[in-house]
Structure 1
């Protein structure tokens, strides 16, 4: 089994236009319009992986800027408001209810740390990837997500303590797994080219004519066949009918066409790629 990946173009005029509008509104301190420009870029511009990553960075920077300038921002509704009516620091305990969204859906042993908060104040719930944490001030907190003591991501949130609200829901979307995190997933670039398909008149079978030129765009192909180790990293276990077990670098075998489709679907979900 070999992999091929479709390469995405990095240019996107729609995205560039929306980002320019966002920057202009930001300069004018029109924060709502700036955010709407980011949302429009996300919804209307058919983003590739490069643009998606850039948009995430810009959203994070936008949130940090608003927080620095004393604004509260609700990403779900797009509402932006000045921080007022907050309970004074230390007036109450705020419970942060933190949920991790894991696109790979394979790993559940995450840990979280919150800068300035004792680990004893953080509780992992029985449900998958959910935590609660108790804080006692209305201010910014940086939540660090780790897996096997390796930092996966971090997110800064503003804990808001209002008179009628002592709980705050926080969702942290974990990044898709980088291809470098998967074993034996090395791709080789195949340049674009063309060839003549079929047989000339008077040669071959009738269904091989007319001879015609076929053009193939550039693509990437797996340098190696899919190994048992890569299959296990994506699927979580070896195939049931694996004959040469215990050979991590051997090609995976004993898999059906349906098994391969499931493997490709999971691999693309984990990496954001377009493997086939």
Structure 2
């Protein structure tokens, strides 16, 4: 316990001169988590303390910007110096920018713009960061925003040299090999040094080559990289100028880069949309399955089409080009089919599975049998889609106030009524996406892995084409349907219980939840069906990939429809994702956790989806 207020929870990282801890602030019960940095100079000489106070003032000023952690306190105790900052729940970009993996141009453009906006504020405050690299950029899980952390001045404070005369010098080189230009290696950093480091990081993202492994021109010393990435001429020119060997040939500061890219680089183009009037259709009420097949036959008869009618509506899969499917905006709902079917042609089946429960330490306590009803959708060429019946009912949506690592956007908790629907047993796989759309955009290739790098628009277009192929009502789940299906009758943070482990979920196992131990960090997707199902027979509702919902993102649930339908109001609101992914920490995988997914054309390699089929 530091100064009777900050209780150290665990070490987050550090080196010989500074250690970073996650701590709990007992005087801030509403936001108890914070980050404590312990700086350990060899001697707490007066000039060091003076430097500490000066840099703390700078950090306090910078922390007023919304995407720089706020300075909460600074103090001295037991000859150590401490800085307390806001805790950002998210992951650093080392989890996204991985050596050997090439990221898209649209990703790099968006990241360039996001970082420059923060760095422009920093430079306008006459501050040089001095250590721009993936580890010092955090993506907040709540909304995907980029935060700039770990300013070089803090490192310098920990490494000040005290010579035998007691004089303090600050000529220590601060930075990371591969990201430092020559002037910074000579302990003379300038604003253009930050620009160089950012450019190196973005080239690393495009090429998959580590920063320390870049080739250089033998004569000029310039970085050679264009042959290793397919990139537009405009972006290539911007990045090349950012990493020029001599600072006089680079952009002078972040504002100058921003001004240049606003002329040269437009945001990633959205997919063409056709203007179309989509009508919201009345969803037919159905009764649950009461031990006999009569009520199920009523549901089925409303939305299955017999084979002859299907042949008239759709001669072949190839007759529906993906590019000709109009994409509704996130505040529009596609029209649904109301054609009936001869129930004799329906091949309903049941399947068995195992449902696991864990204790607070993540140990499996029970394994019980489960059974669910499903049907198989034929996608052609041997490809199928399994759709599981989700019985209607009521539940409390959102998280209770006392749930660990709860966000305010998960409340207020409220009752919700859900009607019967069918949901994909798995997230849509690459094989299924290829069968319907004719392409596979995924970064982690594998037929049975979930399709990723798909935007909301992509997911809606898939549903539209699948609906035309089958004459059934396929769409994305509403957010209420998704949480109801994920919980499967449970009220705990996860459908397994009070915690999860990487034995039963694919997430970044370096982060723990509750009393469970750390686990594996796979750093990639897994085949669907690899991990246990919930009580409804749905697999990987926690982790693996985020899943798009129909709804637009809202900051809380005030004003949300109570009938389970999608909440699509708010023209400028972003789209919404659920479930967490292989990339995220454990708390984001909770049944109630929500993510602002950005615009409808945003796609990352942990964004996927699963489909819903409803009565028409």
TM-score (norm: length of structure 2): 0.17
- The structure with the greater share of residues assigned to strand is 1
Higher Cα radius of gyration? 2
- The two structures have a TM-score, normalised by structure 1, of 0.34
**Which structure is higher in RCO with an 8 Å CA cutoff and minimum separation 6?**
1
